[in-house]
Amino acid sequence: MSNVLVLGGTTEASGLAALLAARGTAAVLSYAGRVASPKVQPIPVRIGGFGGLEGLVGYLRDHAVTHLVDATHPFAARMSATAVVAAAHTGVAYIALTRPAWTPVAGDRWTMLADIDAAVAALAGPSRRVMLALGRMHVDAFSVQPQHDYLLRFVDTPDRPPGLPRHHLVVDRGPFDVEDERCLMEAHGTEIMVCKNAGGTGAQAKIVAARALGLPVIMIARPVPPPRLEVHAAEDVLHWLDHAADRGV
């Protein structure tokens, strides 16, 4: 009898949760607790960190988890690294559900950079109207480039105003719509956009809108995940669950 733990926080994790609910598989979706009101799910949800490797190992054992699905965002590097090791420590079957990185197509004006620090450095120079589509956690890094007019977007209203002297904050959560993204960028007079190579569909609208507007994009590469079993479709996770069941795990 399988008992699945899904590490969530992505459109793909929600899609998998719906499939698991539909087939009546015992499963829990886990959130870190980063936002005030995470999306309602059709399966039980747990919210909060596990307490590092020891905490996750303990959770897997205490809850008799048989299958661990890492469906976190590609930038959730610490969670993904912990998940691989915890599965190996406990012998729990493990798979990652991720989305392929976006690749540039005709009309894209991308500068691909390695990380947030490189993106900050790339913004040296005269004041520009910059859309930072990075969420809340990395905004402070850009305070060394205070000369720009920043358009920020957070999931929740922050307790204190962002530390950028010239900014306009939009509080909204995705998935986003191309036309809305284009209107937002035009209303702000966006001249350049900074974003993570999140992949998937939930954050892609801004890329399509930037292409349509001919805007340059600083595209931050995702961290390299540890070696692991990885699929890109929720249906492949179900096949893995069924196949693993045949193997008696």
Contacts with ligand NAP by CB under 6 A lie at 7-10, 30-32, 34, 49-52, 55-56, 72-73, 75-79, 82, 135, 196
Q: Which is nearer to ligand NAP, 212 or 223 (CB)?
A: 223
Residues 96, 234: Cα–Cα separation, whole Å:
10
| Residues binding ligand 3Y8 (CB under 6 A) | 9-11, 14, 31-35, 38-39, 73, 133-138, 153-156, 173-175, 195-196, 198, 200, 202-203, 206
Q: Which is nearer to ligand NAP, 62 or 246 (CB)?
A: 62
Taking the complex as a whole, the smallest distance from the CB of residue 195 to ligand 3Y8 amounts, in Å, to 6
Contacting residues for 107 by C-beta, under 8 A, at least 6 apart: 211, 212, 214
Q: Which does 55 bind (CB under 5 to 8 A by kind): ligand NAP, ligand 3Y8, none?
A: ligand NAP
Query: Which pair of tokens denotes residue 35?
Result: 């936002």
Q: Which does 162 bind (CB under 5 to 8 A by kind): ligand NAP, ligand 3Y8, none?
A: none
Taking the complex as a whole, the smallest distance from the CB of residue 6 to ligand 3Y8 amounts, in Å, to 11
